[in-house]
């Protein structure tokens, strides 16, 4: 009986049976969190490209006219599609800006396009109470869903909304 209790031949198999699932879950987590970070970077890149297109003085694709919200929508959509993201899953969110330059209201200077991007021109990027003059520019804001697949955890099939909000000042 002592000889059987001292025998350690099968202990490696038991240890591997305990360690391998944990290692697999850790590697799976690294993959899915990396993919979430990639998606977040992609939607922020798309929002920056849209803001850059909107702040431009003229648009070469528009016959050297000022870019419209439809042109900006196309730029954002193409940037998302280049990374295999579906722009139709985006939903607009209200921008975190103090208001519109020169008064005005959001409805005349902002649009929630289809797909769901909130695009605002002539946005006040600073408050009037700041010691510096008010800065005007453009802002683009939207959310994009990301769903984890992380079995045996509370994150499995959990949907989170990744937010992209870009403010850009034009140099005139």
Please determine, for residue 172, whether its predicted confidence score (pLDDT) is greater than 60.
Answer: no
Contacts of 161 by beta carbon, 8 Å cutoff, 6+ apart: 143, 144, 145, 146
Q: Cα 60 from chain centroid?
A: 27
Model pTM score: 0.79
Q: What is the mean pLDDT of the chain?
A: 82
Give the E-state strand segments of the chain in sequence order.
Answer: 91-92, 99-100, 110-112, 118-124, 136-147, 159-169
E runs forming strands in 96-172: 99-100, 110-112, 118-124, 136-147, 159-169
pLDDT given for residue 169 in this prediction: 87
Between residues 75 and 131, the one the model is more confident about: 75
Number of domains the chain is built from = 1
CA 139 to the chain's CA centroid: 14
The phi and psi torsions of 63 (rounded to 5 degrees) equal 75, 35
* Confidence category of residue 77, pLDDT binned at 50, 70, 90: very high
Please, what is the angle between helix 11-55 and helix 69-82, to 10°?
160
Cα–Cα dist 86/63, whole Å: 28
Pair of tokens at residue 45 = 């890149």
Domain extent, residue 145, equals 2-169
Closest by CA position to 101, among listed 125, 78, 85, 69: 125
d(CA 151, CA 29): 10
pLDDT at residue 7 in the model: 67
pLDDT at 10 over 60: yes
**pLDDT mean over 70-91:** 92
What are the tens digits of pLDDT across the range 87-109? 999 999 988 877 777 666 555 57
The Cα 39–Cα 80 span in angstroms is: 9
Tell me what percent of the residues of the chain surpass a pLDDT of 90: 33
């Amino acid at each position: 009986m002592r000889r059987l209790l001292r025998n350690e031949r099968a202990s490696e198999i038991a240890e591997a049976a305990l360690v391998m699932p944990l290692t697999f879950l850790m590697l799976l987590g690294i993959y899915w969190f990396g993919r979430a970070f990639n998606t977040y970077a992609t939607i922020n890149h798309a929002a920056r490209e849209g803001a850059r297109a909107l702040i431009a003085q003229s648009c070469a694709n528009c016959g050297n006219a000022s870019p419209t919200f439809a042109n900006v929508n196309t730029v954002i959509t193409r940037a998302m599609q280049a990374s295999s993201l579906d722009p139709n899953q985006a939903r607009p969110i209200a921008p975190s800006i103090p208001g519109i330059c020169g008064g005005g209201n959001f409805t005349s200077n902002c649009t929630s396009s289809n797909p769901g991007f909130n695009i605002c021109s002539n946005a006040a990027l600073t408050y009037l109470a700041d010691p510096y003059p008010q800065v005007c520019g453009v802002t683009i804001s939207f959310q994009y869903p990301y769903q984890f697949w992380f079995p045996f955890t509370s994150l499995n099939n959990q949907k989170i909304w990744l937010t992209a909000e870009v403010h850009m000042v034009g140099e005139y």
